[in-house]
């Protein structure tokens, strides 16, 4: 009998992209761990080429991959490009990645509080 699939989120984008930073903020506020791949790094761009088979890349592109077991390579289960926060949150929840009890409204509030704190320190 196999264990449930292990899911991982990978964010492909650039640090100067507002949409990439918004997606990363949503992941952080939702307590979803993720890998960040900077598309300015050639290996990351090549990896995304392999997944999408197209260029240019939309930023961010969010990929949810699954590993069925230790002997199985990763398979792509979801691809989102420049997702809006509601769509992104719903996909994360559907994939079982959002911890129980966390709502989109609470996540938005946490992001807004973080932005206010940053504004006060600048």
Q: What is the residue range of 91's domain?
A: 6-121
Is the pLDDT assigned to residue 81 strictly greater than 70?
yes
**Contact at 8 Å (CB) between 15 and 36?**
no
CATH code for the domain in which residue 87 is found: 3.40.30.10
For residue 41, tell me if it sits in a domain.
yes
Number of domains in the chain: 1
For residue 1, tell me if it sits in a domain.
no
For residue 32, tell me if it sits in a domain.
yes
CA angle 81–13–43, rounded 5-degree value:
115
Q: What percent of the chain has pLDDT over 90?
A: 57
* H helix intervals, the chain: 18-30, 42-52, 85-94, 104-121
**Contact at 8 Å (CB) between 103 and 29?**
no
pLDDT digits (tens, 9 = 90+) for 4-42: 568 889 999 999 999 999 999 999 999 999 999 999 999
Q: pTM for the whole thing?
A: 0.83
For residue 79, tell me if it sits in a domain.
yes
């Amino acid at each position: 009998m196999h264990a449930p699939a292990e899911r991982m989120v990978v964010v492909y984008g650039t640090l100067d992209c507002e949409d990439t930073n918004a997606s990363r903020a949503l992941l952080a506020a939702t307590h979803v761990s993720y890998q960040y791949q900077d598309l300015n790094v050639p290996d990351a761009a090549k990896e995304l080429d392999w997944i999408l088979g197209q260029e240019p890349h939309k930023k961010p592109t969010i990929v949810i991959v699954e590993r069925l077991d230790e002997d199985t390579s990763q398979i792509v289960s979801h691809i989102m490009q420049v997702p809006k926060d509601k769509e992104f949150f719903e996909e994360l929840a559907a994939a079982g990645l959002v911890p129980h009890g966390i709502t989109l409204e609470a996540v938005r509030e946490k992001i807004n509080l973080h932005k206010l704190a940053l504004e006060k320190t600048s």
